[in-house]
Structure 1
Amino acid sequence: MIVPYECRCGSSYAPTADRWRCDCGGLLDLPLGAVTWPPRAGGRSMWRYLDAGDLPWRDITLGEGDTPLIEEDGGMHLKLEFASPTGSFKDRGAVVLVALARALNASRLVADSSGNAGTAVAAYAARAGIAAEIFVPAGTSEKKLHQIRGHGAEVTVVEGSREDTATAAAARVEESGAFYASHVYNPYFHEGTKTYALEIFEQLGGAVPATLVLPAGNGTLVLGAHRGFAELRAAGVIDRVPRIVAVQSELCAPLAEAWTAGRDEPEPVQPGHTLAEGIAIADPARGSRILAAVEDSHGAFVTVGEDEIAEAHAALAARGLWVEPTGAVSYAAVRRLRAEGSPLVIGGTIVAPLCGSGLKASL
């Protein structure tokens, strides 16, 4: 599974513990593969879908993946990612990154996060026996900070924006030589999140849903889900990827604004204070890639307001589903689009994730 990184400038690099970007400063990607289907028999974790190669995942796995897919409201399915071991979908990517760090003999890792990625990286780093430092922005849920510290990781709180937090983490990586376990910069994270798509395809009996409704901040689930279905397409298993409707908060919507304006790159925005703290990313580093993935799927970007997020959160709770506020944005978008009679959610199966547990953060 360990394949070289690629940059759009044409450079490629064998993964090393200190490599997290191209010498030109560009982002690193992985080449698109053709997924092997059907997945391996035996076990129910996400690893049955991956060619793990030399990654020592068996030493650190918590059984991540295989989250329930339940039907709600006729034709809509909710994937309960909050049932993941640390309470969010970020486990899928974090376990791959930490396994990679261990394979590369990293002795220390650094990550930056609004909370969920940090808790996931901290948990798997603890199992791998690797020291971890997690950078978080001021205002991060105390419940998430408690979880990170509980796993033994050092927490560094940054006074400033989510982007300031990433800058501080990158500076620590440069000065220390630590492995940068970044869900934004390291494309191996998407090898984990693509299993979200592969599980849906299998759970639906080998059917491609009409629409995936996904939250979009740094885009790790959008990019991973698109990658999973694109690799099924490349293998000739399916002939199309599902439409992706990417959802942002009205108070922080650089991707949605770029989409509406017809731009290939988002421009930074000044974020407002939103309930959806997990996707409040004012300047997403992989913005052009997120926009391209949604375009390839013939999808769209939509935004939801604070009242809509709160109402969707309450509606989910009334159905027995307790999620953090960010976890309600996809459901909020579906409710709105259905009320408007939008063609984005008419005809065929709709799948939306409930990304994070309500035990991590609340209204």
Structure 2
Amino acid sequence: MLTPYECRCGRSYAPAADRWRCDCGGLLDLPLAAVAWPPRAGTSSIWRYLDAGDLPWREITLGEGGTPLVEEDGGLHLKVEFASPTGSFKDRGAVVLVALARALGAARLIADSSGNAGTAVAAYAARAGVAAEIFVPAGTSEKKLLQIRGHGAEVTVVEGSREDTAAAAVARVEQSGAFYASHVYNPYFHEGTKTYALEIFEQLGGAVPATLVLPAGNGTLVLGAHRGFAELRAAALIDRVPRIVAVQAERCAPLAAAWAAGLDEPGPVRPGRTLAEGIAIADPARGSRILAAVRDTGGAFVTVGEDEIAAASAALAARGLWVEPTGAVSYAAVRRLRGAESPLLTGGPVVAPLCGSGLKASL
């Protein structure tokens, strides 16, 4: 039995291959549930935490999840998400989406991405034997394009913004009737990314970090991490969700701007070119939900500049950790907040992800 989608307008829908938004045009969500604990024995992937239901995950999994948590100085823990099968945390959500598509009998997948989500969808689609077309904006790292094509997916490059890319993908979905494997619109993706939080809880021996420092573009890791800890709270396993510090690049920061203005909904911005291509989202579709998640935890938004991203990348490399520039933004934020002696990093362990491999993109 697959969990039905819900819309804030009150409608609900059984998952279907052609269903990715509400008839009212609204975004779909999944109801929050108390997580089952302890995790199931016998598997080492994210599926030890998930109620897979009718999802054929065993045919598709690449052993995603279980990434190392490396302790640094001052109570900082770096979660090495680039150790994932395709080199980024997006594997967590993509495997769930592709398993869903397979369960619903989809013959073709379409996704739009700045690179990593598209790579992950392409890889798992190849495992599932389902054709995939990935839409990417012009300027996407050539290394990421090679990886997507290497998995057998068709790549469509869109001249224009990340938002133009999404619009082109939606048009193709509506024309073709393909399954829209969108990490933005399909909430099953967050069922995968919530395992980031569940792993941290387990790796820290049942402790809750004081702070999670997370990159925020379309917010899939922010929303997933918040969901994971909220489900632990719903199960009475913890009494609080860690504060979330969400990080954006200064040159593309609609969520940080909305936060600073006290708004509940971000407005689109005109993005500048940034090293952090993976979070350069000028008009995030789930912006209000991302803002609400951060607010729920007593967290905040911070921005980092291009020099800070480059310096953080170099500092990580000097510690043996080779990440793409987007993967360094959380560490850049930690360095900035430490320099300012910010209270956002006090009260216990701080956890930040290294989201993507430096083999995908470099300075």
The TM tier, using the shorter chain, reads over 0.9
Q: How does 1:260-271 map to 2 (within 5 A)?
A: 260-271=260-271
Partner of 2:242: 242
Number of the residue aligned with 1:108: 108
2:193 paired residue number: 193
One-letter code aligned to 1:320: G
1:202 aligns with 2:211: no
What's the CA shift for 1:2?
1.5
Partner of 1:92: 92
User: What residue in structure 1 maps to residue 73 of structure 2?
Assistant: 73
**Deviation of 1:346 (Å):** 2.1
Superposition deviation, residue 51 in structure 1: 0.4
Q: Report the CA distance between 1:234 and its aligned residue.
A: 0.6
1:297-316 pair list within 5 angstroms: 297-316=297-316
Q: CA deviation at 1:41?
A: 1.4
Q: Give the letter aligned to residue 90 of structure 1.
A: K
Residue equivalent to 2:55: 55
1:126 equivalent to 2:158? Answer no
Structure 1 unpaired stretches of 5+:
none
In structure 2, C-alpha distance between the alignment counterparts of 1:210 and 1:352, rounded to whole Å:
11
Q: CA deviation at 1:273?
A: 0.4
**How far, CA to CA, are the matches of 1:260 and 1:285 in structure 2?**
19
- How many Å apart are 1:238 and its aligned residue? 0.5
* SS of structure 2 residue aligned to 1:157: strand
Alignment of 1:136-175 (within 5 A): 136-175=136-175
Distance (Å, rounded) in 2 between the aligned partners of 1:292 and 1:224: 13
Q: Any unmatched runs of 5+ in structure 2?
A: none
Aligned-partner Cα distance in 1 for 2:74–2:41: 31
> Which residue of the partner structure matches residue 321 of structure 1?
321
Q: Deviations over 1:301-360 (max 9, x none)?
A: 000000000000000000000000000000000001001000001231000000000000
- Counterpart residue identity of residue 26, structure 2: G
Cα distance between partner residues in 1 of 2:68 and 2:239:
25
* Structure 1 counterpart of 2:312, one-letter code: A
Residue 9 of structure 1 aligns with an amino acid whose one-letter code is C
Post-superposition shift, 1:291? 0.3
Cα distance in 2, alignment partners of residues 172 and 310 from structure 1? 36
Indicate the residue corresponding to 1:278 in structure 2: 278
2:98 partner letter: V
Question: Which amino acid in 1 is paired with 2:56?
Answer: P
Following the alignment from structure 1 to structure 2, what is the Cα–Cα distance between the partners of residues 232 and 354? 23
How far apart are residue 200 of structure 1 and its match?
Answer: 0.1
The separation in 2 between residues aligned to 1:315 and 1:44, in whole angstroms, is 31
For the residues of structure 2 that align with 1:232 and 1:246, how far apart are their CA atoms?
Answer: 21
1:296 matched to 2:288: no
1:44 Cα deviation after fit: 1.4
Deviation, 1:73, is 1.5
Identity %: 88
State the secondary structure of the residue aligned to 1:74: helix
Query: TM-score, normalization: structure 1?
Result: 0.99
Cα distance in structure 2, aligned partners of 1:124 and 1:44? 18
The aligned amino acid for 2:286 is R
C-alpha distance in structure 1 between counterparts of 2:346 and 2:56, whole Å: 43
TM-score normalised by L of structure 2 = 0.99
Question: What is the letter of the counterpart of residue 293 of structure 2?
Answer: A
Aligned AA (2:261): A
Partner of 1:22: 22
Residue 13 (1) aligns with residue 13 (2): yes
Query: 1:26: Cα distance to partner?
Result: 0.5
Instruction: Supply the AA of the counterpart residue of 2:327.
Output: G
